[in-house]
Amino acid sequence: AQKITQTQPGMFVQEKEAVTLDCTYDTSDQSYGLFWYKQPSSGEMIFLIYQGSYDEQNATEGRYSLNFQKARKSANLVISASQLGDSAMYFCAMRLMDSSYKLIFGSGTRLLVRP
């Protein structure tokens, strides 16, 4: 069965420092997509970054980068130069490239940025 695991329930980081949020996934499929979403206290889900299983380079979007290690089935999110506004829940998710379009989510990591 497909599964996403986020082992860090909560993390602290000092403002302006980098932080890595861990995500491992389990699937027997060869084709899949990996996503990271941010959820502020207001509740909406904000898309951050996407990595396809066949992408050879790690995805980057501004201060966000995805450290994709396919053999280890990990897709860690790296946030550089943390800002106070980065304090939120972060969810890793996986999409199977079948017709269902469904995303499977991990349990999330709560990040708190300290001034």
Residue ranges in contact with other proteins by CB under 8 A: 4, 6, 9, 33, 35, 37, 42-45, 47, 50, 52, 91, 95, 97, 99-108
Tell me how far, at minimum, the Cβ of 82 lies from other proteins, in Å.
Answer: 22
Which C-beta is closer to other proteins: that of 11 or that of 97? 97
Which C-beta is closer to other proteins: that of 12 or that of 47? 47
Classify residue 7 as left (phi > 0), alpha (psi -120 to 50) or beta.
alpha
Whose tokens are 């469904």? That residue is 102
Tell me how far, at minimum, the Cβ of 45 lies from other proteins, in Å.
Answer: 4
Tell me how far, at minimum, the Cβ of 67 lies from other proteins, in Å.
Answer: 18
Helices (runs of H) and strands (runs of E) counted in the chain: 0, 12
> 16: number of CA atoms within 13 Å, CB side?
1
**Residue 101 structure tokens:** 């379009």
What's the angle, vertex CA 38, arms to CA 22 and CA 74, rounded to 5? 25
Which C-beta is closer to other proteins: that of 91 or that of 113? 91
Calpha distance 69→93 (Å, rounded): 15
Tell me how far, at minimum, the Cβ of 44 lies from other proteins, in Å.
Answer: 5
Which C-beta is closer to other proteins: that of 50 or that of 74? 50
